[in-house]
Amino acid sequence: QKEVEQDPGPLSVPEGAIVSLNCTYSNSAFQYFMWYRQYSRKGPELLMYTYSSGNKEDGRFTAQVDKSSKYISLFIRDSQPSDSATYLCAMIGSSNTGKLIFGQGTTLQVKP
């Protein structure tokens, strides 16, 4: 069983839809949770960064962490064609090595 599970999709939605992307994990030591966005043939870029449980909002993006269920989500409101990309969840415990554990990535397509 992988430490982090993410539905690879692909996920296709119409423009303006609300998108929900999810990851589950098994290691209760994870404390820092990140979402990266990766456009085709590019390197990933950090989208959201949260510590422990709770919600964090940044414009059209909301990240949720539920440590009791070992479940994290990324919501995209009013999705745009420019949001079409692969979204990777990543997480880490308290280790200072910076070794991130990534999910498989979900490919999202937003159709105009």
Q: Give the binding site for other proteins (CB under 8 A).
A: 4, 6, 8, 32, 34, 36, 41-46, 49, 88, 90, 92, 94, 96-100, 102-105
We find the least distance from the C-beta atom of residue 43 to other proteins, in angstroms, to be 4
We find the least distance from the C-beta atom of residue 103 to other proteins, in angstroms, to be 6
Q: Which is nearer to other proteins, 15 or 45 (CB)?
A: 45
β-sheet bridge partners, residue 107: 86
49 phi, psi to nearest 5 deg: -140, 120
Residue 70: CB atoms within 10 A of its CB come to 17
Both structure tokens of 26: 């098994």
